Amino acid sequence: LGAFIATAEAQTYPTRSITMIVPFAAGGPTDVISRIVTGHMAQTLGQSIIIENVVGAGGTTATARAARAANDGYTLITGHMGTHAASVPLYPKLAYHPEKDFEPIALLAGTPILILARKDFPPKDLKEFVTYVKANAEKVNAAHAGVGSVSHVSCELLHSILNIKPVGVPFNGTGPAMNALVAGQVDYMCDQIVNAVPQINAGTIKAYAIATAERNPSLPNVPTTAEAGLPAFQAQAWNAMFAPKGTSPAIVATVNAAAVKALDDETVKKRLLELGSVIPGPKDRTPEALATLVKNEIAKWSPVLKPAN
């Protein structure tokens, strides 16, 4: 009878609003991508999708909560390279496992990383930045969104290449961290492009380089790290949707189809591309492809990142 009821529920799903947990503050990359995509998905699913920003511990507080939520399709999470990969080696006592405790739904966006600084930070290009932060490693600080967040992990990678250990300044997301950068309260940040494009275009912050092989069409004047003299620093993150483990395959398929439809929508595509996101191609949009990505990313980061404490 239980199985019969579950199947019947999966067939009528969703009959009420869905909560989408975003593990960082409003206005950051994960929040912005979630809002763009779920705004369209809600039309397809015929129910509202309520974004709930649950902050703390580099996104792991919210992700632990999502792992324990009812697996009925009414609580989902937008996770990312940090919450669903880098957190594994960084938090030995992590209260969830990205593979064991979640059903992957769909990859939403690739997000190239940029090296950004407050507008009046002295270095004028990446070469000067490298010289400056090496010479002033005791004085400079790097904003990030908590241990295990993309901004934290990306700058850890940068710092290991430069062989420096500057002070990190944690925020509940790079939305608030970006506000501090714009206000000149912190020196620099390694952030996902989505958060950076509007500020770079408004001239409120500096962008030294984008850590991808090619320049991004949304920021044609920002050089790649290779062009700017630091080819070793390559970094692109990703944001993706997950459900608690045991959510029925029928519900996962329904949510995946709505996400895929959103990614094909011209308005959604335009908005994501304007913000520099990389929209996944058809073969990268399946739950199976996301499962493989998570597995590969955990394997990639595990030997690189050491526990924070």
Q: Which residues bind ligand MLT (CB under 6 A)?
A: 24-25, 28-31, 80, 82, 145, 149-151, 173-175, 192
Residue number, 113 or 252, with CB nearest to ligand MLT = 113
Contact 274, 197 (CB under 8 A): yes
Contact 157, 144 (CB under 8 A): no
Min dist. Cβ of residue 2 to ligand MLT (A) = 38
Residue number, 13 or 188, with CB nearest to ligand MLT = 188
Residue number, 114 or 228, with CB nearest to ligand MLT = 114
Which tokens hold the place of 28?
A: 């950051």
Q: Please tell me the distance from the alpha carbon of residue 130 to that of residue 294, in angstroms, as a whole number.
A: 32
Taken as a whole, the chain contains a residue count of: 309
Min dist. Cβ of residue 146 to ligand MLT (A) = 8
Q: Please tell me the distance from the alpha carbon of residue 203 to that of residue 295, in angstroms, as a whole number.
A: 39
Which tokens hold the place of 176?
A: 């608030």
Residue number, 149 or 254, with CB nearest to ligand MLT = 149
Burial class of 220 by CB neighbour count within 10 A (0 to 12, 13 to 18, 19+): exposed
The residue whose Cβ lies closest to ligand MLT is: 28
Dihedral sign, CA of 229, 231, 233, 235? Answer: positive
Min dist. Cβ of residue 208 to ligand MLT (A) = 17
Contact 120, 184 (CB under 8 A): yes
* Cα-to-chain-centroid distance, residue 181: 19
Residue number, 149 or 216, with CB nearest to ligand MLT = 149
Min dist. Cβ of residue 30 to ligand MLT (A) = 3
Residue number, 25 or 133, with CB nearest to ligand MLT = 25
Min dist. Cβ of residue 53 to ligand MLT (A) = 9
On the question of a cis peptide bond just before residue 98, with omega within 30 degrees of 0, the verdict is no
Min dist. Cβ of residue 271 to ligand MLT (A) = 16
